[in-house]
Structure 1
Amino acid sequence: MALSSNCWKYLVLTFNVLFAMSAVVLFGASGFFLYRLFIYRHFIGVTVEYPAILLLMMAIITCSIAWIGWRTAKSMHQIHVIMAGILIILVVIIEFSCFVWAMVVWDNIEIDIKTTMTSYFMLSSENKETNADSVRWDRLHVKFECCGVSGPNDYSSTGHVPFSCCGQGPLDSMQKPYTSDCSTLYQRGCGNLLHDYAKNQLLMVAMAALTASMLQSTGIFCTFFLAHAIKEKRRASIRHSTSVRESTFAAPDDSLLTPTAPAPTLPKY
């Protein structure tokens, strides 16, 4: 063995600490990306959020597996170490699958967003201006400085364009201050802008999943090398015990066969 079992043990313990830290970072990153997608769920649809949701769940599960890996590495039981390695393999596979899923959604998101936004626009146009749907559109217009799905002409059927298409809308601390006049309407639609926004968030989710799967895959090798080192250590211990036992019984004790008293002599008559 190039490294002893104790060396592999401490390497695995160190990996599990880093494994848990990466899970915490992944939890924060995936939660942030999920939030940025969730606030526009009415326009982009909930299916776009699923890769981020899966990545968030894997971050939580990874913390538990890191704790299991720490306990198994300290116990130095081969079968438990192998089971911990299998769990790490499953985590890496699921995270890589999350990367693939995010890229698939990223590639097909344009059609989904345009369809969802058009349906939501038609639904909100049928309601009053004071409802929650109109407020969401106002915030979207002011945030991205856009109007409607493809432009202000989308409101031709309603007979009026909302003031948010020129920067006025419901006050929101997250938005910049609104202008006081409405002399110029935003001519660009929100569809393409929201499409680019969602693609950027999905790309970040995919890169986070790919980076996590690549970094955490190093623990697979460390864990299984530790299992191999435990196996070799056990074999060496068995060989040592066998050699000691064989050396003990190799040379029989013939002292009992050696006469210790003089041979009896015949009596003299």
Structure 2
Amino acid sequence: MARSFTWLRYFLLCCVILLVFTFLLALITFAEISTGIWALIKHQKIEELPLMDAKKAFSLATTDNKKIWDRMQSRLGCCGLHGKTDYADSQGPPWSCFKVASTEDSQDPDTIYKVGCLFSAISHTRSVLLNVFLTALGSVLLQICFLIAAACYLKAVRKKKEKRKQEILETARSAKDSDADNQTLKSKTLRSF
């Protein structure tokens, strides 16, 4: 009898752990679905800055935020806000507008980036948001597979519990029947003496 209680405690512990796992996995899946939907909506709604804000931001490219603009232009492979013509008022495009970093004396016009940074930044942002969406989608599909596997495992454990319960009942019945048979046999044996 003590053995069946040990098995029952083990079974209940497994069920509790499995239920906690399933709940946490469902919570994480919900968070990832929300993140994926948010990224997809933002990907579709991303728009350009209003022209005045974009021009204001670019005006800082030649003064206060020159290092930031140089880093952005060299990393995104772009020049100016809409192209190299944005630098027409200044002393020409900076080194970061060229495909190969070179000295000011040898800046070849053929190696200058033709695309403006506004387009490149929007394209890069859309790409990142699309990657976030696809990662969330892939993760959700994987977690759904884990949830299905956990549900199948829980079902198998319940079936095994029922089968074990039936075995215990059959063993108890057969033991009771064999005890009754033994009692009958003993009483017959005693009467014969």
The two structures have a TM-score, normalised by structure 2, of 0.69
Q: Distance between the aligned counterparts of 2:149 and 2:52, measured in 1?
A: 48
Whether the 8 Å CA contact 2:48–2:118 is kept in 1: the answer is no
Other-structure match for 1:197:
124
Other-structure match for 2:30:
93
Query: 1:107 Cα shift?
Result: 1.5
Structure 2 residue runs without a partner (length 5+):
1-11
2:48 counterpart SS class: helix
Q: Distance between the aligned counterparts of 2:190 and 2:70, measured in 1?
A: 114
Q: Distance between the aligned counterparts of 1:261 and 1:96, measured in 2?
A: 81
Is residue 121 of structure 1 aligned with residue 58 of structure 2? yes
Query: 1:92 Cα shift?
Result: 2.5
**AA matched with 1:150:** H
Partner of residue 78 from structure 2, selected from 134, 143, 146: 146
After superposition, the C-alpha distances for 1:82-134 in whole angstroms (9 at most, x for unaligned) are 2212222223232222221211221222235978755533445553xxxxx20
Are the structure 2 counterparts of residues 249 and 199 from structure 1 closer, same or farther at C-alpha, using a change threshold of 3 Å? same
Other-structure match for 1:81:
18
1:96 counterpart SS class: helix
**AA matched with 1:96:** I
**AA matched with 2:17:** H
Is residue 220 of structure 1 aligned with residue 152 of structure 2? no
Q: Distance between the aligned counterparts of 1:113 and 1:106, measured in 2?
A: 18
Q: Distance between the aligned counterparts of 1:195 and 1:231, measured in 2?
A: 53
Q: Distance between the aligned counterparts of 1:261 and 1:187, measured in 2?
A: 116
Partner of residue 178 from structure 1, selected from 92, 97, 102: 102
Query: 1:236 Cα shift?
Result: 1.2
Q: Distance between the aligned counterparts of 1:213 and 1:113, measured in 2?
A: 36
**AA matched with 1:148:** G
Partner of residue 102 from structure 1, selected from 25, 39, 56: 39
Are the structure 2 counterparts of residues 237 and 183 from structure 1 closer, same or farther at C-alpha, using a change threshold of 3 Å? closer
Query: 1:189 Cα shift?
Result: 2.0
Aligned residues: 175
Other-structure match for 1:232:
159
Q: Distance between the aligned counterparts of 1:183 and 1:258, measured in 2?
A: 118
Query: 1:223 Cα shift?
Result: 0.9
Q: Distance between the aligned counterparts of 1:228 and 1:92, measured in 2?
A: 22
Whether the 8 Å CA contact 1:166–1:182 is kept in 2: the answer is no
The two structures have a TM-score, normalised by structure 1, of 0.52
Other-structure match for 2:176:
249
**AA matched with 1:163:** P
Structure 1 residue runs without a partner (length 5+):
1-74, 128-132, 168-174, 263-269
Whether the 8 Å CA contact 1:85–1:220 is kept in 2: the answer is yes
Query: 1:222 Cα shift?
Result: 1.0
Q: Distance between the aligned counterparts of 2:97 and 2:159, measured in 1?
A: 74
Identity, % of aligned positions? 21
Q: How does 1:46-57 map to 2 (within 5 A)?
A: none
